[in-house]
Amino acid sequence: MRQAGRWDPEFNRLRGELSFYEFSENVELAAQASLVPRRFGVDAIILFYDITTLTVAMGLPFSLQPSQGPVPSPPVRTIADVERLETNPNPERFGHIRALLACVRDELRGALPVIVFAGAPFTLATYCIGTGKDMEATSRFAAERPEVWQALLEKLEQATIHFLNVLIADGAGLYQLFDSWAGRLPVDLYDEWAHRYHRSIFATVRGAPGVLFVKECPYLGHMTSSGAAVVSLGISHDLAAARSAHPGLVFQGNVDEQIMAHGTPEQVIQATATCVRQGGGRRHIVNLSHGMNRATPVENFEAYVNAVKAATSSS
């Protein structure tokens, strides 16, 4: 998940007063931000950027607004708006991400794998139309403008495949597909707006394994049949049961990010040890159930990483 972020004083020192996009588009600073968690002993590095990086490259600018998150300028409303977006944007248009990947890989010299990511079409589309996690507003838009909605999902699908394939060709070792809000959909709409695109993307992106993340998704059967090599679980899932039912998959998760944010180091150690035990010691990426809360104390993250290493070294 988000290893580097506002919880880390070193990250905040690097960012200073820069806006998010100013910071993320500065390759040197973004590389330093990506590498900040290395000092804790993590096993991989996630590049620092945002899922809206792709839509910006497609021709839809965004700004990051306090308490609102990414806001499109202007939001997609018509078929003409969709048609203006580039299906396969020239890689030069996300050249700062490619340069960031090259810079981080050069610094790591193969010591750690580098993870890239993209938003899945549904979640990215909600940002493009300006509704975000407001499921009622998203459903209303789709009902009132079904042709626009469908065209937007399909265009984002193709652009996501293109974006990920370029980054994997550049040397990314793993990619994550984030469909953060899709777990709030009823199952029929999850099938139509999320699952079909997950299957398409995982079937078409080549050269590196893919991770599917859907926040606290109630449709585990859909996730495990998505074609993802790795399925990310939240606290609503039983990790041990999922591993037993699907021994051929790798699972990711699922330490509660709220314990990370508000618990004591001892509680973090206990939760992490439980997670490692349920993961069975293999085919399991120890991770959080969601991204790092900005209130997370540094000592809790240190306790988390050290607990993983202690648990795995003794197993």
Give residue-wise pLDDT tens across range 244-253: 999 999 999 9
**Rounded Cα distance, 127 and 72, in Å:** 7
pLDDT value of position 1: 60
According to the model, what pLDDT value does residue 5 have? 82
296: three-class secondary structure by DSSP: coil
- Distance of alpha carbon 138 from alpha carbon 163, whole angstroms: 25
pLDDT in tens, 290-300: 989 989 999 99
Rg (CA), the chain: 19
This prediction's pTM: 0.96
Q: Across the strands, what pairs with 211?
A: 176, 230
Q: List the Cα angle 7/13/19 in 5-degree steps.
A: 85
Domain ranges of the chain: 9-226, 233-315
**Which range has the worst mean pLDDT, 51-55, 227-231, 310-314?**
310-314
pLDDT in the model for residue 2: 60
Q: What is the mean pLDDT of the segment spanning 112-117?
A: 97
- Say which amino acid occupies 229: A
pLDDT tens sequence across 58-78: 999 998 787 777 899 999 999
- CATH entry 3.20.20.210 includes domain 9-226: yes
Q: Each residue of 24-45: pLDDT tens digit?
A: 999 999 999 999 999 999 999 9
Any bridge partners for residue 69, and if so which? 65
d(CA 290, CA 257): 6
For 204, the 3-state DSSP assignment is: helix
Nearby residues of 231 by Cβ (< 8 Å), 6 or more positions away: 211, 212, 220, 223, 224, 242, 246, 249, 250, 251, 252
3-state SS track over 298-314: HHHHHHHHHHHHHHHHH
Q: What is the mean pLDDT of residues 236-259?
A: 96
Residue-level pLDDT at 63? 86
Give the pLDDT score at 4.
62
Whether the predicted pLDDT of 135 surpasses 80: yes
pLDDT recorded at residue 6:
86
